[in-house]
Amino acid sequence: MIDGTPALPHCWDRGRPRRSDATTRRDELLTRLAHELGDSIAAVCTAAALIIASESEEHLRLAVGVIRRQSSQMTRMVDDLTQALLLGRGDQRISRDPLNLCDVVVAAVNAIRPLVDGRGHALEVVLQREPMTVNGDPIRLRQVFVNLLADAAWFTDKGGRITIDARREGAEITVAVRDTGRGVAPEMVPLLFETYDRKTRSSDPGWGRMGIGLSVASGLAALHGGSVTAASDGPEAGSEFTVRLPFVESPQA
C-alpha cells in the first residue's frame, strides 16, 4: 500500500495483465509478418504497374523477376507460419513413403533459385550418385531445405557463396547447407531454433525475416526421425546447418 492506495497484484500493471515473453514474441512475429507481406505486396503492385506502362523488354523482364521473387517469398512466409502453428499444437501430419532425397534437394534448389539469384549468390549443389532413400513427406522435406537455403541467402551479403551437399554416411543421409555469410556467435548457436527468436543473427530488421524458418525446419526434420544442427566459427565466419535423416533400403530407389 502506498499513500493509502492498495498495491496492485504483481501480475497486473495499471489494470492490464502483464504479457508473457512468449506472447510478446508472438505479437512481434505477427507485426513482422504484416510488415513483410505489405512490403512484398507493394513490390508486386509496383512491378505490375511497370508491366502495364513499360514498352521496354528489359523493364518487363525486371518486373517479372520481381513478381516471381516476391510471390515465392510470400508463399514461404505463409507456409512457415502455418507449419509453426501446427507443430506448436502437435497437429502436423506427414506421409512416410520411400523417396530419393536427391529429388527433394533438387526441388528445393529450384524453388529457392529466384531468391539466391536475386541476391547475386553462387550456389553449388553436390549430390552423391548412389540412391539416398528415406521414408518421408516430399513436400515437408522440401520445406526443410528451402528454409535452410533461404536462411543462408538472407544472412549472406550479396555476392556470397552457398553450398548444399547431400551424401549417405552409414545409416544416415546428411545434407549440409554452408554459407559465407554473417555467421553466429558460439553462445547463440543453441538458440537458433527457438521459435520467434531472431536476436541470434542480427538486430537489423531487414535481415531478420520472420525468425521461424529454422524452427520449422528443425520440427519437420524431427517428425521424420531426424535432426538439424548448426555450427559457426563466429560472426562473419559463415554458418553450416546439417540435416540428418535415417537411411532406408528400398528396391524402388
Categorize the per-residue pLDDT at 213 as very low, low, confident or very high, splitting at 50, 70 and 90: confident
pLDDT interval class at 5 (50, 70, 90):
very low
User: CA-CA distance, 43 to 124, in Å (whole number)?
Assistant: 29
* Residue 19 pLDDT level (bands cut at 50, 70, 90): low
Look at residue 28 in the predicted model and tell me its pLDDT: 64
Per CATH, domain 97-246 is 3.30.565.10: yes
Lowest mean pLDDT among 49-53, 135-139, 224-228, 240-244: 49-53
Q: Residue 87: is its pLDDT beyond 90?
A: no
Report the C-alpha gap between 101 and 197 in whole angstroms: 29
Q: What CA–CA distance (Å, rounded) separates 202 from 163?
A: 22
Q: What is the DSSP string of 74-119?
A: HHHHHHHHHHHHHHHHT------EEEEHHHHHHHHHHHHHHHHHHT
Domain assignments of the chain as residue spans, ordered by start = 21-89, 97-246
pLDDT at res. 180? 95
C-alpha distances in angstroms, 29 versus 197, 208, 240? Answer: 9, 10, 25
pLDDT, greater one: 171 or 77: 171
Check residues 14 and 239 and name the one with the higher pLDDT.
239
Asked if pLDDT for residue 98 goes beyond 60, the answer is yes
How far apart are alpha carbons 53 and 47 in whole angstroms? 10
Task: Reply yes or no on whether the pLDDT at 203 is more than 50.
Answer: no
Task: Cell 560472426: give the residue.
Answer: 235
User: Are the C-beta atoms of 212 and 192 separated by less than 8 Å?
Assistant: no
Highest mean pLDDT among 23-37, 39-53, 55-69, 236-250: 236-250
Assign 15 a pLDDT band (cuts: 50, 70, 90): very low
Model pTM score? 0.72
State mean pLDDT over 73-86. 74
Percent of the chain past pLDDT 70, that is, above it, reads 78
- As beta bridge partners, residue 99 has 134
What gap in Å lies between CA 163 and CA 187, rounded to an integer?
A: 24
Cα separation values, 214 from 106, 145, 182, 217, Å: 19, 10, 16, 5
Domain covering 21-89 in this structure, CATH number: 1.10.287
Please give the helix or strand (H or E) that residue 127 lies within, else none. strand 122-127
